[in-house]
Amino acid sequence: MKMIIVLKPNSTTEEIDHILERIQELGLKPHLSRGERRTIIGVIGDENKLQAQPLQAIPGVEQVLPILKPFKLAGREMHPADSVVTVGKVRIGGGSLAMIAGPCAVESAAVLDEIAGHVKAAGANILRGGAFKPRTSPYSFQGLGEEGLRILRDTGARHGMPVVTEVMDPRQVPLVERYADMFQIGARNMQNFDLLKEVGQVRKPVLLKRGMSATVKDLLMSAEYILSEGNLQVVLCERGVRSFEDSTRNMLDLSAVPNVKVQSHLPIIVDPSHATGRPDLIPAMARAAVAAGADGVHVEVHNCPEKALSDGPQALLPDQYTALMQDLRRLADVMGKSV
Amino acid sequence: MKMIIVLKPNSTTEEIDHILERIQELGLKPHLSRGERRTIIGVIGDENKLQAQPLQAIPGVEQVLPILKPFKLAGREMHPADSVVTVGKVRIGGGSLAMIAGPCAVESAAVLDEIAGHVKAAGANILRGGAFKPRTSPYSFQGLGEEGLRILRDTGARHGMPVVTEVMDPRQVPLVERYADMFQIGARNMQNFDLLKEVGQVRKPVLLKRGMSATVKDLLMSAEYILSEGNLQVVLCERGVRSFEDSTRNMLDLSAVPNVKVQSHLPIIVDPSHATGRPDLIPAMARAAVAAGADGVHVEVHNCPEKALSDGPQALLPDQYTALMQDLRRLADVMGKSV
Amino acid sequence: MKMIIVLKPNSTTEEIDHILERIQELGLKPHLSRGERRTIIGVIGDENKLQAQPLQAIPGVEQVLPILKPFKLAGREMHPADSVVTVGKVRIGGGSLAMIAGPCAVESAAVLDEIAGHVKAAGANILRGGAFKPRTSPYSFQGLGEEGLRILRDTGARHGMPVVTEVMDPRQVPLVERYADMFQIGARNMQNFDLLKEVGQVRKPVLLKRGMSATVKDLLMSAEYILSEGNLQVVLCERGVRSFEDSTRNMLDLSAVPNVKVQSHLPIIVDPSHATGRPDLIPAMARAAVAAGADGVHVEVHNCPEKALSDGPQALLPDQYTALMQDLRRLADVMGKSV
Amino acid sequence: MKMIIVLKPNSTTEEIDHILERIQELGLKPHLSRGERRTIIGVIGDENKLQAQPLQAIPGVEQVLPILKPFKLAGREMHPADSVVTVGKVRIGGGSLAMIAGPCAVESAAVLDEIAGHVKAAGANILRGGAFKPRTSPYSFQGLGEEGLRILRDTGARHGMPVVTEVMDPRQVPLVERYADMFQIGARNMQNFDLLKEVGQVRKPVLLKRGMSATVKDLLMSAEYILSEGNLQVVLCERGVRSFEDSTRNMLDLSAVPNVKVQSHLPIIVDPSHATGRPDLIPAMARAAVAAGADGVHVEVHNCPEKALSDGPQALLPDQYTALMQDLRRLADVMGKSV
């Protein structure tokens, strides 16, 4: 049974027959259950057909209630064990934590090299940095493009860290694929379905960030787009959602971590930097993420936030990151996980 | 003066000097004002540089307060008169209302022809229909593609209506340009900046829908992306935002209409169909939109919602649309506008 | 049928028997429907018992889906015709519009008299003014108390207008009852259930404002509290909800107007002053409210907003109110309503 | 300097003089700073007067920017050290964690006794249970009243645990004071200012829960109401806020924990039960709360959730609570805290 159709009270026999006919026309199988005052019809059949049909617009129908989860590749039902995604030699999920760190944007080889040295020493295992930057204003710094990708790859190689970077446009996918070990899909593009399909056709891991007003179900449906194209290496990322609270940049929804884990086998990490936008809150939220069961933490680090070309004010200083990593290792230990 | 930097109480002379130096290094001009307990620095200069600088990360700084609006092409300051955007022979803005109607998706030539006849007779002046559909699930109907575009163009021509249709991928822009009179950028792509730049380079009007959790300022910044590429024909669309209210699909923010008009010269229309997702609320919200000063209304109409392949339940029936248009004409009259 | 219980796939016979037993223990009647893979149980019986029971906590239960609406006195099912509430000689609902106007707080007899003269001349029919003010800060002006009530009553009488004022504390109800023609329950107290019960026991009309994050259903449930105590004279008020949009004080949800009307017979008015907090947006939103079908509009007016002791910046000037009322009369005419 | 007034470009000398006069009339001290195109006025003086004044309504004013924080008793500025609140012999804050547990409502002496025995054995140090229940529907179970208070007090005494229970009405304060060791102000009453003042006049600790759409600043302002009446024993509680996410009851905003700690000396605990409404998410969120630096965790526990008269589905079973407490102790240890 995939859906339940609740009919209006006193629906007529004609209405009921019409509904049964429509369901059968669609190649679906109705299952009638007449109550004293209400009649209910269960519908069995191909989920795709069901989702494409506006059953609630049929006269006599009061409510259509879906039963099965709409994601099958991302869901735990068909895949009960936790997935582990491998980026370079780093395992994410199944007890292994990804510690992703780096500046918001790649600015220069020298700056990135210095930051990479710091975060590697502190225990980070994946280096991040943006070469294509989605900026609210067309007049803000938009990233170094291919030059940034090259710097990122070379710096990662020098410090022995695989690299992750954002891709914003389906046309950039082949270029980014040449340089990066993992694609990042940013929050603003979580429902850029053509981009999701494009990275779905590549065989490299994807870090999919939750949209600013996406439900957990929406996030899993977007993962389903990538998975359904054949790329099974998807890591989700909670990075805060829009809310009325005006003292933080976004509201970090840490309950998304266990919520995803109940429904899906995919790893999920947390980005407290974009979520809070405030260095004074990032360490507490990173610790909370590990205790909530996240498979990793994504933190922006910059050696001189005041000169950063993008999002400087939300970055941790290298020393703050080093102190944070010490806390995270102790918490990982309590949680039975390893960095 | 473009920004005000408020220093922390008791900031030292060294800190103040350091801040002044940083500002001058950036080619900006500081304007110091020492108070009894607080010191304030005004900053004058190139807005782009200012926005790229994380001034609040400099030690000693408590708050950075922006003063001027960050959009210059979309803003009223430099362009006080209302813009009028012309689609085919239809004028939008400056007292002329766009009445956009049609099905969610183009399904077949026969269905679209019938709907187009209805809405044209009722008073609609632009025909809509999706050929590329952004669907939450990869398993839902994704649209007819180029075949849908061809049907839309031919149907519009037959009924004397220009046509608008969604473009989702920058690679589709040349194709959609061949068939459509106006591009639609959907809510999910409002911050798909590469797509915005691409339609910014075309010389056809763009209908830009507000993102599901975009502020009015974000919407105007996205319009700025299109305008800054040289395409000045942008019409905004309020279509509801995400909220905690669970009895409607989204929450229609009609205050966005006068709010945009205070700040910008661009026309703005309202889509009560996606906003409410409920045919029983659409007519009231369409009337309210006109009374709020909107430059048009965008309504989904289908002759058989229960067979619609996408979003059927939120469509009005042709007769409902005809009745609504009678109300809207009377309200337009009170507002001093014409359809 | 009042509820549907969807069982987990592969639920055992023991689990099913246990659920059936529990339902029967509660004096309710189960209605079993076994599907191929899923079993569903409909439950019939006393709604109150059903709502008090955590059926979804029983092992084997996947989802509990309610069917009937939980409000019976506020709902249209048992009371299909629109209610009309009478305040003094003013009718609200059933085609008659309440035009409530006045300052946020009663400040002095002289100021209120001047404002009352203005708004009466402009066409307002109910005078408002706060004597007890709910202020976010304990250090802000909290209202004149009984002295304010006396001024309000006398000023209303002098200008021939009934008066409405806020009551915040159940202990104030008898006092406010002596002076006011209508109680106002503010947004912050929409779920102050003891206060709702207290005004439910009085026989004077109540203006119930929607809470800052209340759904339409929550609002109707709060009205149900008042109605269930025997006071049937309830007028609802939409006044904006909290959202991420930071350029207005709240987000006005005008769709609440038709949404309430579909479900309930109670009148509903709109307060664009608190909703937007911006005089430049109030007139457009007041017009939109009337076009959306509201039974009245509640606007703050002050002859000198810059000297107002509370919420001055969001008040209209008397001349702005006069101009607005001219627009509203023309729109009321189109809507077939009278002021 | 308490506020900055930014004038509109090209404001006239008359406007500026008028503004300066108004400020001086209020007994405040203006501080003029003319820029090339903009003029700015700093205002110094009594904060209360400033907050009561709608400076932004004066002609010529573009923006009014507050500088100092509006809470003085709750704020860290005047009280840098963490406060410790003592309930019975239990210390909350300053490194000591409150572990509050019990059923949503007190149902009977037998049930409460059994639950209290379980949670005490598991490590809880404060017993909770509602005698007055704020329920959305007037037809739901409303609590046992004084009988419930008596049961709660006696059960707490028998198990050696102080007790906390909700007070909803200012008239109930003396009654609740006789039985409880700590008052709870529920989320729906966070801005019931008369109730806050009433518990402010008592000398017993207060657990103040964050409102469903209250900002962190609103929460601290409500604490300020209690503190300003002389009751300094206030513990805050984050319990989730309303959001668009529909798979959890509320959205837990754990960043409120460090956010409060930056601004205030008051202890803050977390309630993952009401926040998520889902037993499968509660343990992860309780762990995250401790790692985020919370001063305690508030969890609903019931020995038979399916028979609970209120909120059963969100309660943990006693065994689940015992397992959770083992995790929390290990995390407290990492955080340098003790239960």
Q: What is the DSSP letter of A82?
A: P
pLDDT (0 to 100) of residue C20: 86
D105 Cα to chain C: minimum distance (Å): 12
C250 Cα to chain B: minimum distance (Å): 10
Instruction: Return the SS3 of C63.
Output: strand
Residue A1, pLDDT > 50, answer: no
Q: What percentage of residues in chain D have a pLDDT greater than 70?
A: 93
Are C228 and D136 a contacting pair, CB within 8 Å? no
Mutate to test the interface with C, among D58, D68, D188, D197 (most CBs of C within 10 A): D188
Residue C32, pLDDT > 60, answer: yes
Q: What percentage of residues in chain A have a pLDDT greater than 70?
A: 93
Of B52 and B114, the one with more pLDDT: B114
pLDDT (0 to 100) of residue C1: 46
Q: What percentage of residues in chain A have a pLDDT greater than 90?
A: 70
pLDDT (0 to 100) of residue B47: 61
Residue C51, pLDDT > 80, answer: no
pLDDT digits over D194-214, tens only? 999 999 999 999 999 999 999
pLDDT (0 to 100) of residue A67: 59
C282 Cα to chain B: minimum distance (Å): 9
Of D44 and B303, the one with more pLDDT: B303
Q: What is the DSSP letter of A105?
A: B
- Cross-strand bridge partners of residue B298: B100
Q: List the one residue out of A256, A223, A203, A191 whose CA is nearest residue A87.
A: A203
The total of other beta-carbon atoms located within 10 Å of residue B30's CB is: 18
Provide, as residue numbers in chain D, all residues whose Cβ is less than 8 Å from the Cβ of C141: 52
CB pair distance less than 8 Å for D215 and A245: yes
A296 Cα to chain B: minimum distance (Å): 27
Of B4, B31, B44, the CB nearest to D4: B4
CB pair distance less than 8 Å for D40 and B6: no
Instruction: Return the SS3 of C157.
Output: helix
Provide, as residue numbers in chain D, all residues whose Cβ is less than 8 Å from the Cβ of A241: 243-245, 251
Interface TM-score (ipTM) > 0.95? no
Closest chain B CA to residue D30: B35
The total of other beta-carbon atoms located within 10 Å of residue B267's CB is: 28
For the record, the structure tokens of C297 come out as: 């509009």
Q: Is D173 exposed, middle or buried (0-12, 13-18, 19+ CB in 10 A)?
A: middle
Run of H or E residues at A173: helix A173-179
For the record, the structure tokens of A1 come out as: 């049974």
pLDDT (0 to 100) of residue A115: 97
pLDDT, mean of residues B149-166: 98
pLDDT (0 to 100) of residue A36: 59
Q: Which of C244-269 are b and which e, b meaning 16 or more Cβ less than 10 Å from the residue's Cβ? A: bbebbbbbbbbbbbbbbbebbbbbbb
**Chains in touch with D (≥3 Cβ pairs < 8 A):** A, B, C
Provide, as residue numbers in chain C, all residues whose Cβ is less than 8 Å from the Cβ of D300: none
Position C19 confidence tier, pLDDT thresholds 50, 70, 90: confident
pLDDT, mean of residues B308-321: 84
Residues C118, A26: Cα–Cα separation, whole Å: 65
CB pair distance less than 8 Å for D248 and A262: no
C159 Cα to chain B: minimum distance (Å): 31
Of B113-127, C56-70, D136-150, the poorest mean pLDDT is in C56-70
Residues D230, D208: Cα–Cα separation, whole Å: 15
Residue B1, pLDDT > 50, answer: no
Residue A299, pLDDT > 60, answer: yes
pLDDT (0 to 100) of residue A20: 86
pLDDT, mean of residues D256-272: 97
Residues D258, D261: Cα–Cα separation, whole Å: 5
Q: What are phi and psi of B54, to 5 degrees?
A: -85, 65
pLDDT, mean of residues D234-245: 98
Of A245, A252, A275, the CB nearest to D216: A245
**Amino acid found at D201:** Q
A242 Cα to chain C: minimum distance (Å): 6
Residues D339, D337: Cα–Cα separation, whole Å: 7
CB pair distance less than 8 Å for A6 and C44: no
Mutate to test the interface with A, among C7, C11, C31 (most CBs of A within 10 A): C31
Are C184 and C207 a contacting pair, CB within 8 Å? yes
pLDDT, mean of residues D253-272: 97
Are D242 and D213 a contacting pair, CB within 8 Å? yes
Radius of gyration of chain A (CA): 23
For the record, the structure tokens of D141 come out as: 């179970």
Are C179 and C165 a contacting pair, CB within 8 Å? yes
Run of H or E residues at C86: strand C85-87
Provide, as residue numbers in chain B, all residues whose Cβ is less than 8 Å from the Cβ of D4: 4, 6, 40, 65
Closest chain B CA to residue C293: B284
Q: List the one residue out of C22, C14, C79 whose CA is nearest residue C45.
A: C22
Number of A to B CB contacts under 8 A, please give it.
126
Residues A120, A128: Cα–Cα separation, whole Å: 12
Sheet holding B29-34, edge to edge: B29-34, B39-44, B3-7, B61-66
pLDDT (0 to 100) of residue A18: 86
Residues C100, C96: Cα–Cα separation, whole Å: 13
Question: Which residues, 6+ apart, have CB-to-CB distance to A35 below 8 Å?
Answer: C1, C31, C42, C44
Give the pTM.
0.88
Q: List the one residue out of A136, A212, A216, A202 whose CA is nearest residue A173.
A: A202
pLDDT digits over B170-182, tens only? 999 999 999 999 9
CB pair distance less than 8 Å for A241 and B213: yes
pLDDT digits over A194-253, tens only? 999 999 999 999 999 999 999 999 999 999 999 999 999 999 999 999 999 999 999 999
Of A128-142, B159-173, B198-212, D88-102, the poorest mean pLDDT is in A128-142
Q: List the one residue out of D320, A188, D193, A322 whose CA is nearest residue B187.
A: A188
Mutate to test the interface with B, among A139, A141, A239, A273 (most CBs of B within 10 A): A139
pLDDT (0 to 100) of residue B66: 64
Q: What is the dihedral of CA B186, B189, B190, B195, to 10 degrees?
A: -110
Provide, as residue numbers in chain C, all residues whose Cβ is less than 8 Å from the Cβ of B217: 247
Are B34 and D31 a contacting pair, CB within 8 Å? no
CB pair distance less than 8 Å for A258 and D285: yes
The total of other beta-carbon atoms located within 10 Å of residue B220's CB is: 26
Closest chain A CA to residue C7: A67
Closest chain D CA to residue C191: D188
The DSSP bridge pattern shows strands C206-209 and C98-102 to be: unpaired
pLDDT (0 to 100) of residue C268: 98
Of A4, A37, A44, the CB nearest to C40: A4
Residue B264, pLDDT > 60, answer: yes
CA distances from residue A195 to A185, A189, A208, B192, B218 in whole angstroms, order as listed: 8, 8, 11, 10, 22
pLDDT, mean of residues D80-84: 93
To which residue do tokens 């970090």 refer?
A: A252
The total of other beta-carbon atoms located within 10 Å of residue D21's CB is: 12
Q: Is B63 exposed, middle or buried (0-12, 13-18, 19+ CB in 10 A)?
A: middle
Residue C96, pLDDT > 80, answer: yes
Of C4, C35, C242, the CB nearest to A31: C35
Of A139-153, A257-271, D70-84, the poorest mean pLDDT is in D70-84
Residues C10, C15, C21, CA angle at the centre, nearest 5°? 145
Residues C193, C212: Cα–Cα separation, whole Å: 16
For the record, the structure tokens of D326 come out as: 């083992």
Provide, as residue numbers in chain D, all residues whose Cβ is less than 8 Å from the Cβ of C191: 134, 136, 188
Of B14-28, C182-196, C275-289, the poorest mean pLDDT is in B14-28
Position D1 confidence tier, pLDDT thresholds 50, 70, 90: very low
Tell me the H-state helices in chain D.
13-25, 47-52, 109-122, 146-159, 173-179, 193-200, 216-228, 256-263, 272-276, 282-291, 318-334
Residue C4, pLDDT > 80, answer: no
Closest chain C CA to residue A65: C65
The DSSP bridge pattern shows strands A39-44 and A29-34 to be: antiparallel
Q: List the one residue out of A152, A140, A138 whose CA is nearest residue A106.
A: A152
Provide, as residue numbers in chain D, all residues whose Cβ is less than 8 Å from the Cβ of C313: 54, 56-57
Provide, as residue numbers in chain B, all residues whose Cβ is less than 8 Å from the Cβ of A47: 139
CB pair distance less than 8 Å for A247 and D215: yes
For the record, the structure tokens of A254 come out as: 């840490």
**Chains in touch with A (≥3 Cβ pairs < 8 A):** B, C, D
Residue D154, pLDDT > 80, answer: yes
CB pair distance less than 8 Å for A42 and C38: yes
Residue C213, pLDDT > 90, answer: yes
Residues A327, B228: Cα–Cα separation, whole Å: 46
Could you tell me how many helices (H) and strands (E) chain D has, helices first?
Answer: 11, 14
**Chains in touch with B (≥3 Cβ pairs < 8 A):** A, C, D
A326 Cα to chain B: minimum distance (Å): 25
CB pair distance less than 8 Å for D284 and A331: no
Provide, as residue numbers in chain B, all residues whose Cβ is less than 8 Å from the Cβ of C247: 215-217, 259
pLDDT digits over A45-70, tens only? 766 666 666 777 777 887 777 655 67
Mutate to test the interface with D, among B3, B4, B245 (most CBs of D within 10 A): B4
Residues D268, D294: Cα–Cα separation, whole Å: 6
